């Protein structure tokens, strides 16, 4: 069984990366780890009451869950498990420690595109993956027009 890291922004488009993992590792049972970057709260009270599973549940839409369920059902012979992990570190050393716990040497990331992170506390983890994972495969991901417009909305304001 192979552990594969896949960054996610909790959009259906990011699930395309699972399909690419299946294509790049045929005849291999995969344990897929969807990871996202999240900045920790700044107050002691918020840190004390912080729950990784609660943060993930808040991000999961019904459409995302249904799309993930369909992928798992369609590829049940190749997918052992799909789990979520949050990375809350700020540098490559913290990410390397995070990787050791996950025991993953392979990753699938979007080519050229970064993931869409709508809130300031979430961040795109792709740069940490590129820098620290041994075997990184970059694949094309099609973004819907709605997502790509949201991603560049601030830039387009400056061009007016």
Q: pLDDT tens for residues 99-158?
A: 999 998 899 999 876 676 666 688 888 889 999 999 999 998 876 544 443 443 333 333
pLDDT digits (tens, 9 = 90+) for 115-132: 766 666 888 888 899 999
Looking at residue 19, the DSSP 8-state letter turns out to be H
Q: What value does the mean pLDDT of the chain take?
A: 84
What domains sit in the chain, N to C, each tagged with a CATH number? 2-158 (3.40.50.620)
pLDDT reported for residue 157:
33
β-strands 30-38, 122-123: how paired?
Answer: antiparallel
Report how far residue 16's alpha carbon sits from residue 139's, in angstroms, rounded to the nearest whole number: 9
Distances 93 to 29, 38, 98, 102, 107 between C-alpha atoms, Å = 29, 16, 9, 15, 18
Report the helix count and the strand count for the chain, using DSSP H and E.
8, 6
pLDDT for the residue 67: 94
* CA–CA separation, 65 and 61 (whole Å): 6
């Amino acid at each position: 069984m192979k552990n594969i890291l896949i960054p996610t922004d909790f959009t259906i488009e990011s699930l395309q990366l699972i399909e690419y993992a299946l294509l790049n590792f045929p005849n291999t049972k995969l344990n897929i780890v969807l990871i996202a970057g999240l900045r920790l709260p700044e107050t002691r009270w918020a840190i004390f009451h912080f729950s990784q599973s609660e943060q993930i549940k808040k991000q999961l839409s019904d459409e995302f869950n249904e799309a993930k369920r369909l992928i798992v059902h369609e590829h049940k012979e190749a997918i052992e498990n799909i789990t979520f992990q949050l990375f809350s570190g700020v540098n490559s050393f913290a990410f390397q420690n995070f990787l050791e716990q996950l025991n993953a040497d392979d990753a699938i990331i979007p080519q050229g595109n970064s993931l869409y992170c709508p809130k300031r506390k979430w961040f795109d983890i792709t740069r940490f993956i590129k820098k620290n994972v041994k075997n990184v495969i970059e694949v094309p991901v099609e973004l819907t027009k709605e997502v790509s417009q949201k991603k560049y909305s601030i830039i387009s304001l400056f061009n007016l």
